[in-house]
């Protein structure tokens, strides 16, 4: 069977679409298909601006965009150009010359900042080992992934050394996640609690995450795959994402302990353990960034969800809330600048040290010898 026949029987590119790519209108209907040499693309018609278009904004490509992005992912995981060509041939039945792959690497260099780190990490991490993946059955299936090379190199940088307890937590959850806690329906993403945001500056802008999402989503044929496709690409090709779909939880006792601390104003009420999965965990600019992908980011406000994630991560690692930043994004906007400390804590001038006999040791006790593993502390400025 020829390659074209194989491709045309596969999923149609751009089959799922919510808004017009030109006017952002929602009155869109299917308008036939465009049969290309190596793929079939769905055509759409917008009643608002009277245009016929495809969901793909990457024009003039001989090869399917999906093939291009999968080639980039394989290369930045550490595969050679020759091995990438073999993998693409096996999966898609398409031959990609080495010079074509080189051209793709140059064309998408701006969206793949991991390029500057790849050579440094190659000697220590094999392509099939650089990303650790664990499948978690938490009501639905989650692919929890850790980029070992980025995690190690970022946390060894002087400006990130104070975040070392995060490493122990991530590896512990990969090996011994308490899966039973995640079978209940009390998810942090369902929270509607109102937080006092008067002291918080929220800024919306278009940045690297938006551009990546815009590129990757052009290849998605099923909306249920949106998160996973963006996560796979960012984890392999950016320079700061260290983990995706990170399982996190906060027990009722831990929540009660936080609420009992002087200066903490936490409007959360729950009689069961709160659980969730952080879409993207990044390390940059001396802080941990908790990032969520939300279609319609500028109008959505998942603040209770992200604040709960930050509080739970602080409890699990013993790290300061001040060292965490929350944001969410889609193809058009990244809404960022929320430090959980601003909403959770009425700042005090003193340092609060939790009683280790009441709290028990923090999660970083599993990393023998890591700095700051003796007493869990929360800093208030």
Angle between helices 148-155 and 165-176 (to 10 degrees): 160
Could you tell me how far CA 153 lies from the centroid of its own chain? Answer: 19
Model pTM greater than 0.85?
no
Q: Among 221-225, 335-339, 375-379, which is the least confidently predicted range? A: 375-379
With 0-12 / 13-18 / 19 or more C-beta atoms within 10 angstroms meaning exposed / middle / buried, residue 176 is exposed
Q: What is the DSSP string of 244-289?
A: EEEEEEE-HHHHHHHHHSTTB------SS-EEEEEEEEEEETTEEE
Average of per-residue pLDDT across 342-358: 34
Q: Is the pLDDT of residue 316 over 90?
A: yes
167 or 221, which is more confident: 167
211-239 pLDDT, tens digit per residue, is: 999 899 888 767 788 899 999 999 999 99
List of residues 6+ apart from 41 with CB closer than 8 A: 12, 13, 14, 33, 34, 54, 55, 56
With 0-12 / 13-18 / 19 or more C-beta atoms within 10 angstroms meaning exposed / middle / buried, residue 314 is buried
pLDDT classification of 63: cutoffs 50, 70, 90:
confident
Question: 378, 354 in Cβ contact below 8 A?
Answer: yes
pLDDT classification of 38: cutoffs 50, 70, 90:
low
Q: What is the DSSP string of 77-114?
A: TT--HHHHHHHHHHHHS----HHHHHHHHHHTGGG-TT
Q: How many CB atoms lie within 10 A of CB 369?
A: 6
Distance CA 57, CA 55 (A): 6
- Highest average pLDDT, of 68-77, 345-354, 369-378, comes from 68-77
CA distances from 298 to 104, 295, 304, 312, 336 (A): 31, 9, 16, 25, 10
| Radius of gyration of the chain, Cα coordinates, nearest whole angstrom | 22
Distance CA 346, CA 200 (A): 12
Could you tell me how far CA 209 lies from the centroid of its own chain? Answer: 10
Give the phi and the psi of residue 265 in degrees, each rounded to 5: -120, 95
């Amino acid at each position: 069977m020829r390659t074209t026949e194989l491709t045309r029987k596969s999923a149609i590119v751009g089959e799922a679409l919510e808004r017009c790519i030109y006017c952002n209108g929602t009155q869109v209907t299917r308008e036939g298909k465009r049969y290309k040499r190596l793929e079939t693309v769905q055509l759409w018609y917008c009643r608002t601006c009277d245009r016929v278009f495809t969901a793909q904004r990457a024009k003039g490509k001989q090869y399917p965009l999906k093939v291009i992005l999968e080639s980039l992912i394989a290369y930045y995981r550490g595969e050679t150009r020759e091995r990438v060509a073999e993998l693409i041939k096996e999966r898609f039945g398409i031959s990609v010359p080495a010079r074509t792959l080189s051209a793709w690497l140059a064309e998408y260099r701006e969206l793949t900042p991991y390029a500057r780190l790849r050579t440094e990490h190659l000697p220590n991490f094999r392509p099939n080992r650089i990303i650790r993946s664990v499948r978690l059955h938490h009501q639905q299936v989650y692919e929890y992934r850790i980029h070992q090379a980025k995690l190690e190199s970022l946390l060894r940088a002087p400006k990130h050394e104070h975040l070392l307890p995060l490493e122990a937590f991530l590896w512990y959850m990969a090996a011994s996640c308490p899966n039973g806690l995640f079978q209940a329906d009390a998810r942090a993403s369902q929270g509607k609690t109102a937080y006092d945001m008067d002291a918080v500056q929220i800024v919306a802008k278009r940045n690297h995450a938006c551009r990546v999402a815009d590129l990757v989503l052009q290849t998605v044929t099923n909306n249920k795959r949106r998160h996973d496709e963006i996560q796979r690409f960012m984890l392999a090709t950016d320079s700061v994402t260290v983990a995706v779909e990170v399982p996190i939880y906060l027990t009722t006792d831990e929540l009660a302990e936080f609420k009992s601390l002087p200066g903490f104003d936490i409007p959360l009420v729950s009689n069961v353990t709160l659980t969730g999965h952080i879409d993207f965990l990044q390390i940059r600019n001396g802080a941990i960034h908790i990032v969520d992908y939300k279609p319609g980011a500028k109008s959505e406000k998942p603040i209770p969800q992200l604040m709960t994630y930050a509080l739970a991560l602080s409890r699990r690692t013993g790290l300061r809330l001040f060292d965490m930043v929350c944001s969410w994004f889609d193809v058009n906007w990244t809404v960022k600048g929320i430090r959980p400390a601003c909403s959770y804590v009425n700042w005090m001038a003193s340092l609060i040290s939790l009683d280790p006999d009441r709290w028990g040791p923090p999660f970083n006790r599993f990393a023998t010898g890591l700095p700051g593993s003796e007493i869990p502390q929360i800093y208030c400025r």
